[in-house]
Amino acid sequence: MVGATFPPHLLQRVMHRYFLKKLITLLILLFLVSITVYSVLFVLPGDPAQIILGINATPETLTNLRAKLGLDKSFWAQYTGWIVNLLTGKGSWSINYDMPVYDLIVSCLTVTGPLALLSMVFAVVISIPLGIYAARHQNRPGDVSVMFFTQLGLATPEFWLGILLILLFSVKWGLFSAGGFPGWSVDFWGSFKALLLPAFALGVIRASILTRLTRSSMLDVLREDYVRTARAKGLKERTVIYVHALRNALIPVLTILGLQLGQLMAGAIIIENVFYLPGLGRLVFQAIGQRDLPVVREIVLFMAAAVVLVNFIVDLTYSSLDPRIRLE
């Protein structure tokens, strides 16, 4: 083991180097993400000043508004100013909502954040036990049934599943509202209930992917020598599975779990519109239609940065599951 091979001070240095390497990678990725997002939106056709003032605006008013918004500056001047504003906490100003984009994002995060968390909880709670069960009953009817339902989940579009859930649980049975979000301060349990159907619709595909990955990873781990040794020592099967095998089997699952966040954000754009939820997905959808580029730019950057940060945390989690990764 690593702890037995290296003195404590050397092990601590290895951990610090591992963290520093991951942190530098994180900062480089955030820079590349920011410049990519800004570049893509910078080259889009259309004049935001023209959209704000309308087709009847005079050239003088257009010129004044472009100067006020900083649109008359070079790309690097605009990009640098945007980054400085972000780092100093000023951010951008929404063209259509006439308020700081930061306030819009914080407001919408009270919906999208719990929705994403709840959908991932659904996915993990469903997938890990099913994946373990399928691996322990390989090629048996239980395994075949799990694989069939995961294939069905992968083939089902999120928006279609969301509409189906509304038809069944809202229109036919009246158990949930068909859409909308009352607000946490107005009705906490009503708000929580409003997120259950969209969270389930978002979580089904994630659960299907994670179930298959957990099954595959568990099958590989269960063939390892240390698992056979644990069984030969007379340990209970539950101990072999959940103490010895599962810990190593979760490493690839964590990788995909971090990557799922990006797909979750993309899926939220559709699901929040299906269920009429005032989250980030619906906000960016409306901002694209209104050509509110500051809102689009900062939401896309936030979503991309969230994916990068989650994967950074996942990388750090690897070292606690498998200390050998620190030495790579």
pLDDT in tens, 251-282: 788 778 777 876 787 778 889 989 999 998 88
2-6, 7-11, 80-84, 209-213: range with lowest mean pLDDT: 2-6
Residue 89 has pLDDT above 90, yes or no: no
Helix (H, G, I), strand (E, B) or coil at 43: coil
pLDDT of residue 59: 84
Residue 45 has pLDDT above 50, yes or no: yes
33, exposed or middle or buried, with CB in 10 Å at 0-12, 13-18, 19+? Answer: middle
Domain boundaries defined on the chain: 102-327
Angle at 242 between CA 238 and CA 245, to 5 degrees: 110
Q: Quote the tokens at residue 185.
A: 């301060």
User: Mean pLDDT, the chain, as a whole number?
Assistant: 84
Residue 77 has pLDDT above 70, yes or no: yes
Q: For the residues 114-129, what does the mean pLDDT come to? A: 92
pLDDT of residue 3: 42
Quick one: which of 119, 303, 113 has its CA closest to 201?
A: 119
174, exposed or middle or buried, with CB in 10 Å at 0-12, 13-18, 19+? Answer: exposed
pLDDT of residue 192: 94
Quick one: which of 257, 222, 244, 233 has its CA closest to 321?
A: 244
Q: Could you tell me which CATH number the domain at 102-327 has?
A: 1.10.3720.10
